[in-house]
Amino acid sequence: MKQSFHMNKLLITLLGIAGSLLLQAQKISFEGKQFEVKNVTASVTELEGSKVLKVERDLKALPFDTARLGQTVDEPTYARLLNLDFENGTIEVKVFSRLQDPSPFRSAQGFIGVAFRISEKDSAYESFYLRPKVGRSDNQYYRNHTVQYYAYPGYKFDKLRKEAEGMYETAAPVDINEWITMRIEVQGEKAALFINDARYATMVVDKMKGNSTHGFIALWVDIGTIGYFKDLSITKK
């Protein structure tokens, strides 16, 4: 009986240690900032001579189903920046996407971007992301889907495309396997995305669809993408 008690106590201790290690593994430091991993894997590595944060969607944490595309993409799959509450201001970051090989999704387009005004429990947020693979396509229809705005959970790409085609997607001359600067300016209900050194916004959303008015910022990827991020800067207003 006494031995059984000690064994149970040891098991509880080991489970506690394992739980602590798991929690630690879900956080990562990069560029002097702390990030929390949400449905992705993340690591600090080197790319083209620079320290970068590598992020990939974790299909074990959040499975993907081609038969239920709308329900299993545009989800909270990101490295979430801790200790910052963002409402209005400017977010700027350099992004670089590669396609996984083999890819779990035949139509992967290098989905990479930024989520912002994320609620405490990741239940709501706004986002801009890119599909760089089609940015220089010879097909204009594909080009027009290079940039995407969406609001989680109620306004993903498929719903927005169905209800207001062309309003929340646009073209941008970008590609996979190259660095792209994303700058997002947010003020009240309005948000604008600038690509690289563009003087004028690539996309303007006059009235965002989400119901979260402030919150976290995150570095976002989706299915089939190996995403790299660096030089994240945030200016709050």
pLDDT in tens, the chain (237 residues): 545 544 444 444 444 434 444 444 489 999 999 999 999 999 999 999 999 999 999 999 999 998 898 899 999 999 999 999 999 999 999 999 999 999 999 999 999 999 999 999 999 999 999 999 999 999 999 999 999 999 999 999 999 999 999 999 999 999 999 999 999 999 999 999 999 999 999 999 999 999 999 999 999 999 999 999 999 999 999
Whole-number pLDDT of residue 18: 43
Half-sphere exposure of 195 (CA within 13 A, CB side): 23
Superfamily name with CATH number, domain 29-236: Exo-inulinase; domain 1 (2.60.120.560)
Question: What integer pLDDT is reported at residue 66 of this predicted model?
Answer: 87
For residue 54, the surrounding DSSP H or E stretch is strand 50-57
Whole-number pLDDT of residue 5: 43
Pick left, alpha or beta for residue 31 (phi over 0 → left; psi -120 to 50 → alpha; otherwise beta): left
State the pLDDT at residue 10. Answer: 43
Q: Which residues contact 49 (CB under 8 A, 6 or more apart)?
A: none
* Whole-structure pTM value: 0.89
* Runs of H (alpha helix) within 26-98: 69-72
Q: What is the CA radius of gyration of the chain?
A: 19
Contact (CB, 8 A) for 226 and 97: yes
Cβ(123)–Cβ(211) below 8 Å: no
The closest of 226, 219, 235 to 30, measured between CA atoms, is 219
Provide the pLDDT for residue 13: 43
Burial (CB < 10 A; 0-12, 13-18, 19+), residue 16, is exposed
Query: Which of these, 106, 101, 112, 100, lies nearest to 74 by C-alpha position?
Result: 112
Nearest to 190 by CA among 210, 172, 170, 171: 210
Q: Spell out the alpha helix ranges (H) of the chain.
A: 2-25, 69-72, 140-143, 157-163
How many whole angstroms from its chain centre is CA 80?
8
